[in-house]
């Protein structure tokens, strides 16, 4: 940890691997880390999006590269972790959702969401965690969701996987803490990203989400960057095993009725 407060958030000289950095919150995270000095590697199944994010970072005068990665491919994840074994920051953002009531779902839908959201995260934690532990330093940031804490009809499988991500993160924090590696989960609330297009297209659904937050609005993708930079940097040097809510106050308030008192 730096002994100069002015440097606490700086990431100069550190390599950050952002999985899912080709779009949405992953892209915003990658841009934020680069702005604070990190050398960013974008890993994504969407190679076009990954290349665009890397180019956007380079246009800002920072260093970035990209690689193709499918989080369902265990061998590919192992190859990435070995190739980027000097990474000091890992950000894991990929997620998919099937918005259907549980009694209407089928095994294939369950397996698909679990394989990406939970098992994909597990594979990345295992491979990068082992290498960071050997080197004695690192910060891993997983993306859960406020749905790990609160649910609504039609979000059961997604919520279960995101709760699992939180517990995997806490377990790895406990296991790697003595080796100098921190692991934290981020829980975004209603952010405008490709994953929430279905909600945004429904005016009643979209408006209800905005009204439930204390701030009475949805978040823009770049509003996640500050939390990611904080968790990646020495500013959070004593923070591990935590769930960082970024949900506009959703879970802090009731939100159903505003009494006239």
Residue 202 phi, psi dihedral angles, 5° rounding: -110, 105
Q: Rounded CA gap, 132 and 140, in Å?
A: 9
DSSP state of 99: -
Sequence-ordered strand ranges (E) for the chain: 15-19, 39-44, 64-68, 89-92, 138-143, 181-188, 243-246
Q: Is 148 exposed, middle or buried (0-12, 13-18, 19+ CB in 10 A)?
A: buried
Q: Which residues contact 159 (CB under 8 A, 6 or more apart)?
A: 145, 147, 148, 151
Catalytic site residue from 122, 158, 209, 230: 158
Q: Is residue 158 annotated as a catalytic residue, yes or no?
A: yes
Annotated catalytic residues are: 158
């Amino acid at each position: 940890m730096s002994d100069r407060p002015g440097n606490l958030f700086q990431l100069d000289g550190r390599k950050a691997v952002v999985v899912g950095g080709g779009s949405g919150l992953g892209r915003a995270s990658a841009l934020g880390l680069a702005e604070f000095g990190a050398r960013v590697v974008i890993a994504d199944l969407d190679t076009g999006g990954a290349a665009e994010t890397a180019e956007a970072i380079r246009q800002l005068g920072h260093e970035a590269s990209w690689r193709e990665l499918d989080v369902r491919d265990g061998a590919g994840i192992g190859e990435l972790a070995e190739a980027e074994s000097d990474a000091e920051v890992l950000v894991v953002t990929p997620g998919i959702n099937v918005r259907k009531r549980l009694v209407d779902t089928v095994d294939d839908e369950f397996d698909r969401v679990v394989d990406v959201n939970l098992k994909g995260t597990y594979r990345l934690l295992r491979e990068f965690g082992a290498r960071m532990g050997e080197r004695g330093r690192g910060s891993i940031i997983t993306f859960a969701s406020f749905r790990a804490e609160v649910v609504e009809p039609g979000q059961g499988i997604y919520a279960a996987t995101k709760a699992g991500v939180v517990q995997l993160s806490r377990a790895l924090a406990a296991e790697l803490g003595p080796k100098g590696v921190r692991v934290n989960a981020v829980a975004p609330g209603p952010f405008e990203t490709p994953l929430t297009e279905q909600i945004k297209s429904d005016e009643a659904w979209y408006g209800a989400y905005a009204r439930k937050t204390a701030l009475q609005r949805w978040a823009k993708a770049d509003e996640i960057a500050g939390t990611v930079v904080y968790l990646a940097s020495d500013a959070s040097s004593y923070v591990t095993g935590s769930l960082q809510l970024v949900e506009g106050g959703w879970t802090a308030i009731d939100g159903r009725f505003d009494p006239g008192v």
